[in-house]
């Protein structure tokens, strides 16, 4: 039986879910109160429309990690399966909240623009377009993308992180 997590339609659903979750975080960078986010509320609101099916926590989080990895690559293709470090016995809300907090804190460590760059990549923009939109250097954008890739890859391969 074919795994539906790699279909184009599912990939798009995961990408849209991630964009919904990142939108409030991207807006929080415009305010002075950008030190923390209400990740639980963000996740609850984002998942309300998404959870029409009984999707496993493991599958969802692995797919979201893959969407992030795919968005950061220049060549867009169906993502390569990654080793999952998520347990099936986890409850969705606390795990998704921790996952979103992790994304938020990882990107803030890299650069204040990192979450915005990730969001723009998820919207389909290339590095040059992002650098023009943010009025910053192309090399900086590309370095931030590499730094996010390195952090995410390290977290996935080591199984470390909030999840």
The domain locations on the chain are 8-67+85-158
Closest CA to 24 of 7, 39, 14: 39
Q: Is the pLDDT of residue 136 over 90?
A: yes
Residue 162 has pLDDT above 50, yes or no: no
Instruction: Calculate the CA 150 to chain-centre distance.
Output: 14
- Mean pLDDT, the chain, integer: 76
The distance of Cα 149 from the centroid of its chain, to the nearest Å, equals: 11
Q: Considering only residues 83 and 17, tell me which one the structure prediction assigns the higher pLDDT.
A: 17
- Is the pLDDT score of 2 beyond 90? no
- Is residue 47 within a helix (H) or strand (E), and if so which, with residue range? helix 39-50
How far, CA to CA in Å, does 27 sit from each of 20, 32, 35, 119, 154? Answer: 12, 11, 12, 11, 27
Residue 103 has a pLDDT of 86
| Residue 157, token pair as written in the block | 């391969």
Cα-based torsion angle of the residue sequence 54, 104, 34, 74 in order, rounded to the nearest 10 degrees: -110
pLDDT band for position 51 (50/70/90)?
Answer: low
Q: Is the pLDDT of residue 33 over 70?
A: no
Residue 155 has pLDDT above 80, yes or no: no
The residue-averaged pLDDT of 101-126 equals: 90
% of the chain with per-residue pLDDT over 70: 70
pLDDT band, very low/low/confident/very high, at 85 (cuts 50, 70, 90): low
The residue-averaged pLDDT of 42-67 equals 74
pLDDT at 76 over 70: no
Name the pLDDT band for 80 (thresholds 50, 70, 90). very low
Mean pLDDT of 28-47: 70
């Amino acid at each position: 039986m074919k795994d539906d997590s790699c279909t184009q339609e599912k990939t798009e659903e995961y990408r849209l879910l991630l964009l919904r979750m990142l939108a409030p975080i991207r807006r929080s960078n415009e305010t002075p109160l950008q030190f923390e986010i209400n990740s639980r509320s963000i996740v609850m609101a984002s998942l309300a429309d998404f959870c029409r099916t009984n999707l496993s926590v493991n599958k969802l989080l692995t797919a979201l990690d893959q969407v992030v990895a795919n968005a950061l690559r220049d060549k867009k293709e169906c993502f390569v399966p990654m080793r999952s470090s998520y347990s099936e016995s986890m409850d969705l809300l606390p795990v998704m909240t921790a996952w979103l907090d992790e994304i938020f804190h990882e990107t803030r460590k890299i650069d204040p623009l990192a979450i915005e760059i990730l969001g723009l990549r998820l919207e389909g923009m290339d590095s040059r377009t992002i650098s023009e939109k943010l009025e910053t250097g192309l090399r900086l954008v590309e370095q931030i993308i590499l730094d996010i890739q390195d952090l995410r890859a390290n977290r996935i391969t080591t199984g470390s992180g909030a999840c």
